[in-house]
Amino acid sequence: MVTREVSYAGRACTIKAFVAEPAGAATAPAAIVVQEWWGLNEHIRDVARRLGREGYFAIAPDLYSRQGNKVATDPNTAAQLMAGLKKENGIEDLQTTVEWLRAQSETRSTRIGITGFCMGGSYALLLPCESKEIAAAAPFYGEIPADEKLQKLNCPIVYAYGENDGWIQRADVDRLTAALKKFDKKGDVKIYNGCSHGFFNDTRPDVYRPAEAKDAWERTLKLFAENLKV
């Protein structure tokens, strides 16, 4: 696996991103990793590296590129950065990332997956409702779009949620489960008992749950293998 920093022209600014890809591979399926509200930090880079080791061309775009590529370490700053990112601008920059991926000779551009966490989980579920370019999505504890958006979901999903999440409401997660059935969409919602928001983040000992994080990651890899490596 090799890693590099890249940049490409967005609608409003230059978007910076971190790439991890298999060494020597002619082509590879692509996967987008969307940051938590902290920004494009070392944890998100590590998730991209994990996907690179699994044979994916993984890219983690900096959705705070419009705000000077900032990274937060405290919740107040993170909240300000997230509030400064309009949802439509985040989607626009992710769509630009998809376009960039499709232009790369190293990617199998017809197969793009997406995963994300916290704020990134919201985008990882919303983007495949807005775009037909995504072939698989694995959102972790993100906001649930309105049903009229979910009706337009274009790919299979696995959604990971901790039952003690203080940010995302259980009622909305149950609505997602119902919407997948109502709209005949392929997907699965996994609720992890005793877990809090952010349980996948191994840099946060206050919330990290290794066994549940491992299971959620294995489910993500299974989804990607079934839908991207074809």
- The set of catalytic residues is 118, 165, 197
Share of the chain above pLDDT 90, in %: 94
The model's confidence at residue 188, banded by pLDDT at 50, 70 and 90, is very high
CA angle 88, 17, 96 (to 5 degrees): 40
pLDDT of 109 strictly over 70: no
What integer pLDDT is reported at residue 14 of this predicted model?
Answer: 98
Six-digit token string for 214? 């491992």
Across the chain, mean pLDDT equals 96
DSSP 153: -
The model's confidence at residue 131, banded by pLDDT at 50, 70 and 90, is very high
What integer pLDDT is reported at residue 26 of this predicted model?
Answer: 79
pLDDT of 230 strictly over 70: no
pLDDT of 209 strictly over 90: yes
The model's confidence at residue 111, banded by pLDDT at 50, 70 and 90, is confident
Domains of the chain with CATH codes: 2-228 (3.40.50.1820)
The larger pLDDT score, comparing residue 229 to residue 211, is at: 211
CB 136 within 8 A of CB 221: no
pLDDT (average), residues 140-152: 98
pLDDT (average), residues 179-202: 98
In the chain, what's the furthest Cα-to-Cα distance? Answer: 46
What integer pLDDT is reported at residue 87 of this predicted model?
Answer: 96
